[in-house]
Structures are given as structure tokens and as C-alpha cells.
Amino acid sequence: MPEIEARIQSIFEQVVQRNPGESEFHQAVKEVIDTLGPALRHHPEYADQKIIARICEPERQIIFRVPWQDDRGEVQINRGFRVGFNSALGPYKGGLRFHPSVYLGIIKFLGFEQVFKNAITGMPLGGGKGGSDFDPKGKSDAEVMRFCQSFMTELYRHIGDITDVPAGDIGVGGREIGYLFGQYKRITNRYESGVLTGKSPKWGGALVRREATGYGTVYFAEEMLKARGDSLEGKTCVVSGSGNVAIYAIEKLQMLGAKIVACSDSNGVIYHASGIHLDTVKQLKEVQRRRIRNYIDEHPGAQYIEGGQVWDIPCQVALPCATQNELDAEAARTLVANGCIAVAEGANMPTTPGGVKIFLESNLAYGPGKAANAGGVATSALEMQQNASRDNWTFEHTEQRLHEIMTGIHQDCYETAAEFGSPGNYVIGANIAAFRHVAEAMLAFGVI
């Protein structure tokens, strides 16, 4: 094994040893560092200063108890997390996830990914992530409020608009951000609207933030196809999930002339050959908070597949927009066999390593999440700019800035991949481009 690769393997083994049982974190680290050999050969100073090893160790990890009372008066206890992974480029920036699957390994995987995703936007942002094993599903507004207030009672001392700026993620939408900010304001006696992003536009939030991750993923997919002399117009698409990212990915796909025939939730898949009716999905998910199977009540011509996968449905473009590791090697083979030409990740690490390998070998246009779904955090940075300047931007202006940022991300990935001898490989392009941004700042600051 060449010296550089041996050194990288040694770093990975140390990560696994120091972080036992955190399989998602191990996967995220390996996916990135395995592509960094060419960067270390071009920049031996990165290896000399142990930049990779330092990036793989979070700057801070906070775990805390979150007690709260449910509507029956019974005391419940959850666990809260906030991991500040790297602040070389700016304050920690990353969402909060409320879901029963949350544990330290999930938060570290998401925070590690966030470092590179934020770096590749070109915005002055570090990377972090947080959350809790609390499940907001089935809870009343009053229960969610009491939990959020308890969560922020501890978290507030660790965050700030120049220190650490949380946002939403799975299980944390506008309702939760409102309760969290209200408690922060109450405790601190300060109206620091820049301390949280994903806020309602009625009180300091950015227009387009709700749409940003989904829109940005579609913009990235469109740029990948443009680079191949193609476009999304007329393409048949499938989108996994039916939450915020999936809904607005579908919306932008439709705006660009694509036909979306399938979406899903954790129970099953809706297949509508004539095209998904987005208004129905929005009503079910954003208003009624019901399951996707109820779609067929309004559209009996559609088919509901209990426990199915959208990847089994023939398409030209696939957007995984649900959760990590939802698209495995078997699903990837199915997509390729059915003629899929482009995959852009709207979720964080939704494709397993085996699936990624198949996509890269098949030479389809594959956009990894750290590049393709960076639109959400990019628009969060725009929200922070508006808060800092006490300004209020129009939807059109903010969306134009988002489009420009996503186009720039694609160009950075595309050119970096070519520079390091792997033209069209957006995994290598995104990882090395983002790593260089962070590494150069870390070198400038010395060993800290």
C-alpha cells in the first residue's frame, strides 16, 4: 500500500477505535478520507500538520438531559446533543434533528458531513449538528413546546450568532424553531434573531428557506445534466420521501418541466404514472400530517405500494430525499438497469457505499449530498446575512442567490474532479474541494 493510502487507513482505524459503535460516523469519515489521497500528494503540508486527523475529531461534544412533562402530567426524559465539529471557516452551523434514532454517532456523522457541505458553499460557515431522541410525531403542540423549552434551557448557553447557529432537520420545522427561539429570547433577554435559522419569514426568517434544500438539489441535478448537454425537461423522475425536502424538490422539478411519478414515506410508495399531484402531497404532509397512503383517497388512479421502494419504478432521474442509507447496492443496480441517468442526493448520505460504487462505475451523473443538498445551509447563511443587516429580501432575490450558489458549487466540484484526474466524479470533486477550503484555514490558524 502506498505511503499516503497507508496513512489514511491508519487515521480511519484510529477513528473507529476512538468512536466505538458509531457506524454512521465511521461510514461518513471513510467515504471522505478515502478520496483525499490526491490532495495529500499535491499538498504534503496537509499530512505534515495532520489536518485529516484533526478534522475527524470534533472540537466539542455536548450531551445533556432533557426532562419534560407530557399532557397527562407524566415526566419524560430525553437526551439532547450538540456537536461542534469544526469552526475553521466560521461559527458552527447545522440543524437539530428530533427523531427516536438519534444518538451520538448519528449527530457526529451529520456534523462531519456538515463541515464539508458548508465549506463547499463558499459561505463563512463551520460545521456542527445537534438533536434529541425525542419523537415529535403524535405529540400535541403543548408537548412539543414543553420539550423545546426544556431543550433550549440547556442548549442556550452553548450557542450564539457568532458561535454556533442551529437550524431545523428531521422532526424540527417552523413550529419547533419558534418554540426554541422563544425560550432563547426569554432566557437571554436578547432578540438575537441570527442565533437560529429556519425561522418564519414573519419574524426574521428568509423567504425560500423552506424550499431551499429541495430547490437546490434540483438545481444541482440540472447543472450535472447541462454538463452532459442535457436537461431535466421531459425527464421521468422519482423522489423518495414526502417531507420538506422531497416536496420542494418535486415542486422545482415540475417547474423545470420534469414529470414526477413516485414519492414515499416510511410506510410505502405512491406511484402515479400520469404524474404526482403536489397539492395533494402538501395537504397531506404539511397541513393534515397524515401518511402518504391517503393520497389514493383523492387520486384512485394512483397505486400505493405498502413497504415498497421508489427505486423499483423506472425513471431517468432519481432524488433520494428521505434519510441516510435508504438506497443500497441492489436499489442502485435496479435504477441503472432501468435507464436512470442522474441521481442527486437531497438527504444526508442516503446512498450506501455499495450503491455509490455502482453509480460511479455506471458513469451516470451522481451528485453526493454534501454538494447536491447544500442549498439549505446556503440559504441559512443568507438568512443570517439578512438578520445581521436588519434587512428583508424578496423571494425572487433570495432564490436567485440560491441558484447562483448551487451553480458555483457544481462548478467547483466539476473543475476539482477534473484537476485531480477524475473528470465527472462529483464525489472526488466535492470532497477535495471542500477539504481544501477547510484545510487552508486550519493551516493559517496553527495547531489549535
Binding site membership for NAD(+): which residues?
Answer: 213, 244
Alpha carbon distance 32, 26 (integer Å): 10
Expressed in angstroms, the distance from the first to the final Cα of the chain is: 31
Q: Which residues are annotated as a binding site for substrate?
A: 93, 114, 117, 168, 380
Determine the Cα angle at 241 with ends 235 and 242, to 5°.
95
Q: d(Cα 112, Cα 54) in Å, to the nearest integer?
A: 12
The answer to whether residues 129 and 93 touch, using CB atoms and an 8 Å cutoff, is no
- Do residues 49 and 443 touch, judged by C-beta distance below 8 A? yes
Query: 259 an active-site residue?
Result: no
Phi, psi of 76 (to 5 degrees): -115, 150
Find the largest Cα–Cα distance for the chain: 63
Catalytic pick from 108, 129, 199, 259?
A: 129
If you write DSSP's letter for every residue of 360-406 in order, what string do you get? HHHT-EEE-HHHHTTHHHHHHHHHHHHHHHT----HHHHHHHHHHHH
d(CA 118, CA 121): 5
> Is 322 in a helix, a strand, or coil?
coil
> Binding site, residues?
93, 114, 117, 168, 213, 244, 380
Buried b (16+ CB within 10 A) or exposed e, 175-197: ebbbbbbebbbeeeeeebbbbbb
93 neighbors 114 (Cβ within 8 angstroms) = yes
Q: Which residues are part of the catalytic machinery?
A: 129
